[in-house]
Amino acid sequence: MAEIRPFRAYRYDTNRVALKDVLTQPYDKITPEMQERYYAASPYNLIAIEKGKLAPGDTPASSGGSIASAPSNASTAPAENNVYTRAAAKLEEWIAAKILVQDAAPSIYVYAQDYLVPGTQTRRTRIGFIALGRVEDYSAGVVFPHERTHTAPKADRMELLRHMRAQTGQLFMLYDDALRKIEHWLEKIARMKSADRDAR
C-alpha cells in the first residue's frame, strides 16, 4: 500500500499577489511565448522558479547539489550561476519577503479543477488531493510508472530539486477506490469549506 503524509506547504500570500498573475502551466507545457507572458505578469510569477530564462554566461549545473557541498577549493572556482541557482535564490527571497508563507500545520490539500472535455462544451470537475508520497522502487509493486519520461526533462527537474530543496510541481497519480470512499470524503471536505485559493 502506498504511504502518504501531510506536509506544511508554502503558498502565495493572496493579500500580496493575485493568483492569476503568479501561477503557470506545468514546465513542460510552457512555450517561449508563454514564458515571456508569465514574466511580464508579475515579478513574483512562478515562472522565475519553474522555468527560468537562460542568460549569457550561465555556468553548467554542478549536478552535485548546492554550493555548500562544493569542494574546499571552491573559492578559486567561478561561482555557479544558472537557471537553477537563480530559482533557489528567488525561492529564498520570496520566503524572506513573505510573498510565500508556510502553513502552520501539516495538511493534505484537497483541490478541484473545472475543465471542458476536449472537443465538447461539456464541463466537468476533477477533485483530488496533494500530499507527500513515499518514494517506492517500481519492483515493489506499490507505485507503477504511467509514462516513459525523457532523459533531458528528468535531468532538468532533478537539478532544480537539488538546488532548491523544494518541489514546485506535483506528480499526477491515480489510485484504486472501487467503493469511492476517498472520492466521497474529498467531496464532503470540499463542501464543508469554501476554497482557500481560487485561480482562474
**Cβ of 174: how many Cβ atoms within 10 Å?**
8
Going by pLDDT thresholds of 50, 70 and 90, the confidence category of residue 147 is confident
pTM of the model: 0.83
State the pLDDT confidence band at 123, using cuts at 50, 70 and 90: very high
Q: Write the single-letter amino acid at 143.
A: V
The answer as to whether 136 is a domain residue is yes
Residue 41: strand, helix, or coil: helix
Reported as a pLDDT band with limits 50, 70 and 90, residue 192 is: confident
189 pLDDT above the threshold of 90: no
All three cell numbers of 52, joined, read 527560468
Assess contact for 53 and 39: CB atoms under 8 A: yes
Q: What is the pLDDT of residue 78?
A: 59
What's 148-197 look like in SS3? CCCHHHHHHHHHHHHHHCCCCCCCCCCCCCCCCHHHHHHHHHHHHCCCCC
Return the bridge partners of 128, or none. 111
Per-residue burial over 127-156, b if 16 or more Cβ lie within 10 Å, else e, is ebeebeeeeeeeeeeebeeeeeeeeeeeeb
Burial class for 182, CB neighbours closer than 10 Å (0-12, 13-18, 19+): middle
Task: Average the pLDDT over 7-21 and give the result.
Answer: 96
- Whether 200 maps to a domain, the answer reads no
Whether residue 69 lies inside any domain: the answer is yes
Total tally of structural domains belonging to the chain: 1
Does residue 199 form part of some domain?
A: no
Q: Is residue 111 part of a domain?
A: yes
Of the candidates 40, 7, 8, which has an alpha carbon nearest to the alpha carbon of residue 24?
40
C-beta neighbour count of 50 within 10 angstroms: 19
Residue 119 vs residue 71, higher pLDDT: 119
State how far the Cα of 87 lies from the Cα of 139, in Å rounded to an integer: 34
Region of 20 on the Ramachandran plot (φ > 0 left; ψ -120 to 50 alpha; else beta): alpha
Q: Could you list the residue range(s) of the whole structural domain that residue 50 is in?
A: 4-192
* pLDDT, the chain, mean: 88
Return the pLDDT at 198.
63
Three-class SS state of 110: strand
Band (146; pLDDT cuts 50, 70, 90): confident
Provide the pLDDT confidence category of residue 71 given band limits of 50, 70 and 90. very low
111, β-bridge pairs = 128
